[in-house]
Structure 1
Amino acid sequence: MDPPARRVRLKPWLVAQVDSRRYPGLHWLDPERRRFAIPWRHATRHPPAPQDHDTIFKAWAQETGKFRAGLDAPDPARWKANLRCALNKSREFRLLFDGTRAAPPQPYKVYELCQGPPEGADGVAEDDYGCDEEEEEVSQLQKMTSLSISVTDLELKFQYRGRQVCVLTISNPHGCRLFHSSLEPTQEQVELFGPLTLEQVRFPATDAIPNEKQRFYTHQLLDVLDRGLILELQGQDIYAIRLCQCKVFWTGPCAGPRAGPNPIEREKKTKLFSLEGFLNDLILFQKGQTSTPPPFEIFFCFGEEWPDQKPKEKKLITVQVVPVAARLLLEMFSGELSWSADSIPLQISHPDLKDKMVEQFKELHQLWQNQQRLPPAQPEPGPPAGPWVLPPGSLPQ
């Protein structure tokens, strides 16, 4: 049975911890003691430091009864989530700066004390302790839902043999059809070309292909793409329906482990992406239970087997589909700006004494450079130049 949580006021407790200077990196940033910094390391991006066994997050868990030394298993990710959630709930703190983006070697956050009321609206002291990891996840999901984020927006990137020829974003609640034909779909031809409600997206022209042989084989594939490939939006999920004669292979979040090529069967609905599954995996990543964020990009290869031994850049026709909502959710949920699902994990050692000395030298050098950029002082006006100073052009020829 979990221990009962204790009622603890976050503001006086946290102010006392900053004053104590007990935790490295937790300190005031101004003389008025209004703004303070908290070191905010990510378990999956930063290796544990020697002092990580005794953190402000662990202290908050112990203070609120969420962790009992010797009885409960240590859970640093949950400790951090609890304090973050308490800070977010409290009206007496405001996040000014989130320095955890782009995986810096020394991540931290800056909070400001606010002049909020000491009691809740009902006259009872607010419960800063009553927030655990699961509650924060629910509130995050509710926040995302309130923003009406759906998988409506799809970013499409067309490439011919590794060369990007077109990028566009479609916003159709029904989805789209990728095709190459001079025939326009009609109401009587729904079985041939799919519903008219779909966004009709034609493959780009091949005029920019410089190689004649490549252009010939690309046309061979485009000629059998009359009926096209449908990307159907159903609820919060994305499906593919291959109508065209051209075979289509794919990889993506719902592809599952597969050793060889992964084809889309003709006229059979294939699930490509699930927003619910993506969010579940995103929660695991945020809790530190997985080392990488969940994938959300879908990759299609037309007329050639994929995946195989050849790189993507060697394929004649490829299309990458990005659910824009998933990319936004990853940024919102993790609190970091994500380049893509395959961001580069930077490996940087923790600074030692010599590194800190170098940083000080760099700062002094920067100050010196700033001094050099200042405009030179104007000399005091003096007596006119003597006869030995000749004006320009007065020398004899």
Structure 2
Amino acid sequence: MSNTGGRRLKQWLMEQIQSAQYPGLQWEDDSHALFRIPWKHAGKQDYNQEVDASIFKAWAVFKGKFKEGDKAEPATWKTRLRCALNKSPDFEEVTERSQLDISEPYKVYRIVPEGEQKNGKSSVMAMATTTSSGDITDMDCSPAELDELIKEEEGCSIQASPEYWSQGSINAFPLHQDPLPSGTLSSAFSQMMITFFYGGKLINSTVVNNSEGCRIAPQLQLGRGALYSSETMQSVHFPPAELIEHDRQRHVTRKLLGHLERGVLVRANQEGIFIKRLCQSRVFWSGLGEVGSQYSPIPCKLARDAVVKIFDTGRFLQALQLYQDGQFPAPDPTVTLCFGEELHDLSNAKAKLIIVQITVVNCQHLLEAVNMRRSQPYPNLEMSDNVATDQMARIYQDLCSYSGPQRPACYRDNMPITA
């Protein structure tokens, strides 16, 4: 595929930097490998369109997308240049050097030498954003991409309310009015293991114990996460791309992480796991959620800003009972998330750039306890002192004593705890 559009952008932008006509557009280093571009949001009180949108307006004029007398659309101007920079193989955002929380915010981009570009950026964009039907060679956004990015630009300065799980989703995300029973229920079912895989390789794991859940996102400048989550939530960061051994994979993963800035919100309780996608990038998931066939869930795409139940505790318990009775394979207590790329089935998950697996720790323990019981040579042997049985008894007692508004399915009210 031709990179003509990217070359036009590179030549034009270098000329604008050299001209010193645009405040804030300047070289970041003496070698002229990095440059700053002003990035003040239009919602700022001191925003001056003539100054702060000048470089974006110039690009719109150069592209023939704006002429004097047309309605001024600074958000659209800014989005068009942002999209061009993201699509061009000549540029790479250096997020760790960008400063977006200062009075005169800016982003930093690196000029990528041609020798590092290899196959260009078209494959990266196919994975990191929705497929564009526009003129890729001219580095334009498709109308759908443009609309989504403009909405993000117009909304990114709005502070999240304490109800960061939006009011419209309260019914989908259970808020318990009755006090939870004492014991393991209120804490154990909120405990999740978050595991990160880059290119099929295990990179990092972390445990979430916060009953308010967590926000999974790249590590950004101090304070930026407050835009998208609550202070009471636990922060879980994607591992840095620098941990990846192979140059090309590291380069592409770093690009993809740039589209995950807002991340996803995740929370678990005795009902299951709930997720809300905030990030620009596509996210696909596979697990025992509310959609798909009961035991062979089909990977689904997460809609943006919608609360989705991606793991249902009741369905897991039902499947676990069938497994214990020897009627079905073991259920999976883990949900798989694939960022930036479409996930057709789990067989090719290792080929994906970024895979995140979320495991309900208590459900994992239940599965292990059932496995221990199934492995006993004499299944009718009294096992009251068995660690697995004690653990199952404790968890089931808490589950079945819960009487909140959305009681999980105790798949057998009189389920025997001892064999």
TM-score, length of structure 2 as denominator length: 0.42
TM-score, length of structure 1 as denominator length: 0.44
Q: Please say which structure displays the higher CA radius of gyration.
A: 1
Greater helix content: 2
